[in-house]
Structure 1
Amino acid sequence: MKSQHKKPLHIYFALFTGLTLAMGSCKKFVEIPPPVNQLTAATVFSSDATASAAIAGIYSRLSQSGFIQAITPYAAMYADETVNYEPGNQGEFALSQLTRISSPALNTNFWNLGYQYIYFANAAIGELNTGSGVSPALKANLTGEAKFIRAYLYLNLSSLFGDVPLITDTRYQSNATFPRSPKAQVMQFIIEDLKEAVELLGEQTGGEKVRANRYAAMALLARAYLYNGEWALAQQSANAVIESKKYTMLTDPSKVFLKNSSEAILQLYPTQTNQNTPDGLTFLPATAAEQPKYVITPALLSAFEPADLRKSAWIASRIFLGQSYAYPAKYRVINTSVLSEYLMVLRLAEQYLIRGEARIQLGDIENGIADLNVIRKRARPAPAPTLPNPVPDLSGSISKAEALLAMEKERQTELMCEMGHRWLDLQRTGRADKILKAVKPDTWTATAILWPIPEEQLRLNPFLEQNPGYNK
C-alpha cells in the first residue's frame, strides 16, 4: 500500500514518544517518557496510563496532520465555496480538474496520512484485544475510541476516493498489495465499527470535548447512515444525540467554534505551538495588509439571506488594492498561546440537519422542516416590530423535492467551509454535476465526482486501479 506500512509496529508507536498529549481535563499535559531501547506496542499497552496516552497520541498527531489541515480548504475549492488560483495543485482543486500535479498533495495529505492513522488504530485495537495490562473498563473505552478514529478516517477516504483498500490489521506484507474494496463494503465496516464504539464508549461529557465519547460515536454513525442512504437509522442515531440533552444550540453563531462550546460534540485539541486551529491559520490573513488567500465565491455569498447572522459571524471581508474580498472566518484566531478555539469535528447543528434530511426522505416533511427551522432560528436576528422576519421559519407544507432543496441550502450555509461538508454533500446527493457544471463549465467533468488514486500508490501497489477519467 505504501512504504510506511513496511515499518514494524514498534516504529509507529515510537512516534508517540516525546509528544505533548492532552489527557483528562487537558488543562495539564502528560509526556510519555522515551523508552530505554525500543517502545514496543506491547509495552505501550501494558498499563492504563501508557495505553490511554497512546490513544491520546493518535488524536494529537491527527490534529496537526495534513489530513486535518487540508480537508477544509481543498474540499471548499473543489466544490463551490472558495477560490484560490495559486500556482500548482491549489489551482487544480479550484478548477475541480485534478491531474498529476495534484497527486503529491492527494497522497501526502489524504491517502498516505489516512492509512497511517488507520494503521495506528488497527495496532491499538489489536493490542487492546490481546493484552492483559489494561483494566477492563478502560480497555473497552480505548477500543471504542480507536474504532471511532478508524471509522472517521475510512468515512472520509471512501467519500473522497470511492473504493479503497479495507485494511483492518497490521500485517504490512499482505496489506502492501491489498486491492480496493467496494465502497458498499467499506461503509458497512464503518457502520459496524461505530455501532461497536457506541457500546464500548462511556458517556463522559463534562470538561474538555477532545476525545470521542458515546455521543460522538452516535453522531458519526448518524452521518454514516445518512451517507449510506439508511434514512430510518440516520434519524434514529441523530435523535439519540439530540434527545440526550447533553448538548445545546448556541444562540450566538460567533460562539459556536470556541473551545468546549455547548454545541460541540467533538473537537480537536490544538497541539501546534502558539496556534489554535489549522483553519484559522489557513483562512485568516496573517497581517492587516495581506490579501485573503481563500476568497468566498458569489455562489456561497448569495446562499445566505441578507440578515442571516451566520453570514456576519462566519464570513469576514477586507479591502485590498481597492477590491473587497470575503473570506471564511468561523475561527477568528491565528497565532496566540492563549487557547480559545478548538477545531470542530462534530456538533449538534449537524445532527438536526441529519435528522431533518432523514425525516424528509422518509416522507415526514413537516418534522423534517421543523428540524431545519431549529437551525434557522439561530441565524435569525431579533425581529423589528414593524418589519417581517428576515430569516423566517419555512413551511412544512411543501413537496419532498422542495424540502430537500431547502435542506441542501441550509447545509450549504450552516456547514460552510467546515471539514469538507459541502463537497461531500454535493457528491453523495448526486447534485455535483448540476451545481458544479454551472460554476465551472470549462473544467468540470462527470468523472471528477471522485478524486484520483495518487500515482505514488499505484506505483507501490500494482493491485490498485485508478478511478475513471484519470488514466491519461
Structure 2
Amino acid sequence: MKTKLPISILTILILSFLLISCEDFVEVDSPNNKLIRDEVFGSDETAISAMQGIYNELFVADFSGGYTRSVTFLSGLSADNIQNITTTNPERMAFEENELFPDNQNNLALWSSAYNIIYMANSYIEGIENAENLSPDLISQLNGEAKFIRAFTYFYLVNLYEEVPLILSTNYQNNELAPRVSASEIYKQIIDDLEIARESLTVEYRNADRTQVNKFAATALLARVYLYLKDWEKAEELSSQVIAEESLYELPDDLDEVFLANSREAIWQISPLGNGSIVTHTNEGNLFIIDPFFSFFAIAKLPESLLTDFRPEDKRLLNWIDYNASRDAYFPYKYKIRNSSELPILENSMVLRLAEQFLIRSEARTELNDLPGAKEDLDQIRTRAGLDPISEIFPELSKAQLLKEIAQERRRELFSEWGHRWLDLKRTERASTVLGNSNPTWEDTDVLYPIPAQERMKNPNLSQNPGY
C-alpha cells in the first residue's frame, strides 16, 4: 500500500523543486534533486499541485502580479495611460518621465521576477517530460500549461527589452553566462511553445476554472504574437478561432461583469489565491482604487489625455473610471474590490479577454484590406460601450483612418491592463510621435528598457540596449 505524503511535506518538496533561485543558479546535487523530482512527479496529485504552484507564483511575482512593480503599472507609466499622483518616488517617476537608468530597482524586479517564472517553468517541463508514473494525457496537458507560461513570460521580456537571454533549461552553468539573442529567435521559441500548448491543451478548463489555461488561451496569445509580427493572415485566423468559440466566450453587455472571476469574457485570469487565503482581492484593485477614507495612500491616477479620449456617453467612462475628490484624481475602476479577505473570490486578475481578440482581428482585417469586416469587429466593442457603430457614422473611412480608430479604441478598452498602450505605441512605431510631444527629454531609444546593471555585473556576456 502506497503511503500518501502529508500536505506540509508535499508543499516543501514542491517548493524545493520549483523555487531554486534563477538569479544565483545554485547547483543542486543530482541525487537529492532526483529524489525531489521523483516525489513531485510521482502522482497526478503532486504533479498538478506543482503546476498550481507556478500559477500561484504569477500572482506574487513582480512582473505579473499587477502591483507597483508589474508590467501593468510600470509600462502604464511609460506610456500616457497612468500617472504618479506624487513625485516623491524617483524610481517610479523614472518610468513616467522615460528617464530610466540601468540601476533602477523596479526595472530589476521586472526582469528578475520574469526569469524566475521562466526558471520554474523550465524546471517543471524537465520534470514532466521525464515523468514515469503519470498518464500520457496528463503529461501532455501539464507540459502544455508550463510551455504556455514560458511563452507568455518571454512575450513580455522581448517586448520590454528586445534581445534577451533564451533560457530553456535549469543548467546553471549554461544559464549564468547566457548572452542575449535576437528578438526573432525569442519569438520563434514563443511560437514553438504556443503551438505545442495548442496541441496539448484541452478545450475545457481544468477544474472549470479560467485561472488555468486551455487551448484557446494559447490560441489567443498566439493571435497577439502574430499581430505584433505583422502576420495579418495568422492573426486573423487565430483570433477568429477564439471568437467563434461562443459556447465558452462572449462579450457581456454589463461592463461590471467583465472582470468578475470566471467571467464569460475571460480567456485567462490569475487568482488572488496565489497569495494564500489571507487576501481575496486583486492587486490591481488594491493598487488603483483610491480609498475614500485613506486617499493619502493613493499613488496612481489617470491622465487627462486619456479621459478626454472618451465621449461622455461611453459606458467605459461611466463604469470603469471613478473619481476621488480629495486627491482630485480619476482612477481605474475596472476592479471594484480594493480589500477583501472573504471567500468566495469575486474578482480575478484579467490577463487575456475576448475584447482584445476582436480588436486584433479588426486590425488584421484592416491590414488585409477587409475594411467592412474590420469595422464589424470594431463595432462589437463600440456598441457594447454605448457608442454609435463606426460603420454608420464614418462609412467611408479610409484604411489609415480606420487603423487610427482601432488604436484609439484599444487605448479606451485596454487601459490599465498589462501595458497594452506602451506595447501598442512601440509596435506601431508611434511612441516617439505620441510621447515625444509631451516629454521634452524623450529619446527614440527610450522605447526599450535597460538591461539591469546588477544582471550585467553577474553576467559579463549581457550587452546593454542603446541609449544606456
**Both structures adopt the same fold (TM-score exceeding 0.5):** yes
Residue matched to 1:457: 455
Residue matched to 1:280: 285
> What aligned pairs does 1:41-80 form with structure 2 within 5 A after superposition?
41-68=37-64, 69=66, 70-80=70-80
SS at match of 1:40: helix
Residue matched to 1:29: none
Equivalent residues of 2:140, 2:200 under 8 A apart: yes
1:345-364 per-position Cα deviation (integer Å, ceiling 9, x unaligned): 11000000011111111111
Which residue of 360, 363, 378 corresponds with 2:366?
360
Equivalent residues of 1:255, 1:261 under 8 A apart: yes
Q: Which amino acid aligns with 2:226?
A: Y
Could you tell me how far apart the structure 1 residues matched to 2:34 and 2:16 are?
7
Query: How far is 1:371 from its partner?
Result: 0.5
SS at match of 2:134: coil
The answer to which of 233-242 and 65-74 deviates more is 65-74
The percent identity for this pair of structures is 38
Residue matched to 1:239: 240
SS at match of 2:167: coil
SS at match of 1:303: coil
SS at match of 2:124: helix
> What aligned pairs does 1:158-237 form with structure 2 within 5 A after superposition?
158-205=158-205, 207-237=208-238
Q: Does 1:370 align with 2:360?
A: no
Equivalent residues of 1:83, 1:295 under 8 A apart: yes
Could you tell me how far apart the structure 2 residues matched to 1:278 and 1:261 are?
18
Distance 1:228 1:391, change over 3 A: closer
Query: How far is 1:88 from its partner?
Result: 2.1
Query: How far is 1:123 from its partner?
Result: 1.4
Distance 1:423 1:413, change over 3 A: same
The answer to which of 272-281 and 243-252 deviates more is 272-281
Q: Does 1:410 align with 2:409?
A: yes
Equivalent residues of 2:162, 2:183 under 8 A apart: yes
Equivalent residues of 1:176, 1:461 under 8 A apart: yes
Residue matched to 2:8: none
Query: How far is 1:392 from its partner?
Result: 8.1
Distance 1:12 1:393, change over 3 A: farther
Q: Which amino acid aligns with 2:464?
A: Q
Per the normalisation by structure 2, the TM-score is 0.88
Distance 1:216 1:226, change over 3 A: same
Equivalent residues of 2:217, 2:352 under 8 A apart: yes
Distance 1:260 1:12, change over 3 A: closer
Structure 2 segments unaligned to the other structure (5+ residues): 1-11, 20-31
Q: Which amino acid aligns with 1:120?
A: M
Residue matched to 1:150: 150
Residue matched to 2:317: 311
Query: How far is 1:439 from its partner?
Result: 2.2
Could you tell me how far apart the structure 1 residues matched to 2:58 and 2:180 are?
24
Distance 1:394 1:52, change over 3 A: farther
Distance 1:57 1:360, change over 3 A: same
Distance 1:434 1:72, change over 3 A: same
Equivalent residues of 1:376, 1:393 under 8 A apart: no
Q: Which amino acid aligns with 2:39?
A: T
Could you tell me how far apart the structure 2 residues matched to 1:180 and 1:77 are?
26
Q: Which amino acid aligns with 2:307?
A: L
Distance 1:344 1:159, change over 3 A: same
Could you tell me how far apart the structure 2 residues matched to 1:249 and 1:79 are?
27
> What aligned pairs does 1:304-343 form with structure 2 within 5 A after superposition?
304-320=310-326, 324-338=328-342, 339-343=345-349
Distance 1:409 1:128, change over 3 A: same
Structure 1 segments unaligned to the other structure (5+ residues): 1-9, 18-35, 382-388
Residue matched to 1:127: 127
Distance 1:11 1:106, change over 3 A: farther
SS at match of 1:267: strand
1:79-128 per-position Cα deviation (integer Å, ceiling 9, x unaligned): 001111332211111111101452x21112x1111111111111111122
1:9-56 per-position Cα deviation (integer Å, ceiling 9, x unaligned): x99842769xxxxxxxxxxxxxxxxxx999722321121111111111
Residue matched to 2:22: none
Distance 1:157 1:465, change over 3 A: same
> What aligned pairs does 1:12-91 form with structure 2 within 5 A after superposition?
13-14=15-16, 40-68=36-64, 69=66, 70-84=70-84, 85-91=87-93
Equivalent residues of 2:366, 2:399 under 8 A apart: yes
Equivalent residues of 2:379, 2:389 under 8 A apart: no
Could you tell me how far apart the structure 2 residues matched to 1:96 and 1:197 are?
36
> What aligned pairs does 1:427-438 form with structure 2 within 5 A after superposition?
427-438=426-437
Q: Which amino acid aligns with 1:309?
A: K
Q: Which amino acid aligns with 2:159?
A: S
SS at match of 2:352: strand
The answer to which of 414-423 and 395-404 deviates more is 395-404
Residue matched to 2:97: 95
Query: How far is 1:162 from its partner?
Result: 0.5
Q: Which amino acid aligns with 1:410?
A: E
Residue matched to 2:301: 295
Equivalent residues of 1:367, 1:396 under 8 A apart: no
Per the normalisation by structure 1, the TM-score is 0.87
Matched residue pairs, number? 431
Which residue of 260, 264, 267 corresponds with 2:266?
264
Q: Which amino acid aligns with 1:329?
A: Y
1:223-262 per-position Cα deviation (integer Å, ceiling 9, x unaligned): 1111111110011110000011120001111221011111
Query: How far is 1:285 from its partner?
Result: 2.0
Distance 1:268 1:393, change over 3 A: farther
Q: Which amino acid aligns with 1:66?
A: D
1:274-303 per-position Cα deviation (integer Å, ceiling 9, x unaligned): 241110111112452414421111111111
Could you tell me how far apart the structure 2 residues matched to 1:394 and 1:145 are?
44
Query: How far is 1:326 from its partner?
Result: 0.6
